[in-house]
């Protein structure tokens, strides 16, 4: 394969992830019940924390997967052998990237839970589901063909970019409204 072909594969994967994310958000938002009245901050934070459980469960599963691969081989001591197989190397990279993404996701989820209008709160569980699906797709794609991780990466990154952007604007508008 050439670099041009690889770039095309990644671009197509990112586009698939981008459009897939939009389709999932729009579809689920139109079918899920909407919040009908304002919700107090404690309930908003409770929703955000509940939406963090499945992403954290996936992260924990990744940790267990890597830990179980260490048993009975030289990687049992990661100071001497970080990964015993190529699959384990991939799993470690996915775990590292998921850790980074999960930090952004958690902060973003908490910020959005208090900043978005109550009518949009049903987006938070959708965001959580899309994040988990994207991370699973990223993991599977990385293990099959490193270029195929792009759709999963897009699914977990695009909502983060939109959410962080929204949160930054909402905070700045609040700050400047005070002055």
The per-residue pLDDT for range 65-80, each reduced to its tens digit, is 999 998 888 888 888 8
Cα angle, residue 101 at apex, residues 82 and 67 outer, rounded to 5°: 30
The model's pTM is 0.93
The per-residue pLDDT for range 126-158, each reduced to its tens digit, is 999 999 999 999 999 999 999 999 999 999 999
62, two tokens: 């990744």
Domains and CATH numbers, the chain: 35-178 (1.20.120.550)
pLDDT of 165 higher than 90: yes
The per-residue pLDDT for range 80-98, each reduced to its tens digit, is 888 889 999 999 999 999 9
Q: How many CB atoms sit inside 10 A of residue 42's CB?
A: 8
How many alpha carbons fall within 13 Å on the CB side of residue 100?
Answer: 7
Rounded Cα distance, 88 and 70, in Å: 9
The per-residue pLDDT for range 7-57, each reduced to its tens digit, is 999 999 999 999 999 999 999 999 989 998 999 999 999 999 999 999 999
Q: Which residues contact 57 (CB under 8 A, 6 or more apart)?
A: none
Cα angle, residue 101 at apex, residues 49 and 124 outer, rounded to 5°: 35
Angle between helices 123-144 and 3-31 (to 10 degrees): 150
Q: Is 131 exposed, middle or buried (0-12, 13-18, 19+ CB in 10 A)?
A: buried
Backbone angles phi, psi at 80, to 5 degrees: -105, -35
């Amino acid at each position: 394969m050439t670099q041009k072909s690889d770039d095309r594969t990644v671009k197509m994967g990112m586009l698939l992830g981008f459009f897939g994310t939009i389709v999932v958000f729009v579809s689920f938002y139109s079918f899920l019940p909407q919040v009908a009245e304002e919700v107090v901050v404690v309930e908003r934070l409770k929703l955000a924390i509940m939406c963090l459980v499945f992403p954290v469960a996936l992260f924990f599963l990744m940790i267990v997967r890597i830990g179980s691969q260490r048993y009975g081989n030289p990687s049992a001591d990661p100071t001497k052998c970080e990964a015993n197989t190529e699959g384990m190397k991939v799993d470690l990279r996915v775990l590292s990237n998921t850790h980074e993404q999960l930090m952004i996701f958690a902060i973003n989820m908490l910020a959005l839970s208090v900043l978005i209008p109550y009518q949009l709160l049903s987006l938070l569980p959708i965001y959580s589901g899309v994040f988990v699906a994207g991370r699973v797709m990223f993991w599977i794609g990385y293990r099959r063909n490193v270029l195929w991780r792009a759709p999963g990466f897009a699914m977990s990154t695009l909502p983060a970019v939109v959410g962080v952007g929204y949160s930054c604007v909402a905070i700045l508008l609040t700050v400047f409204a005070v002055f």
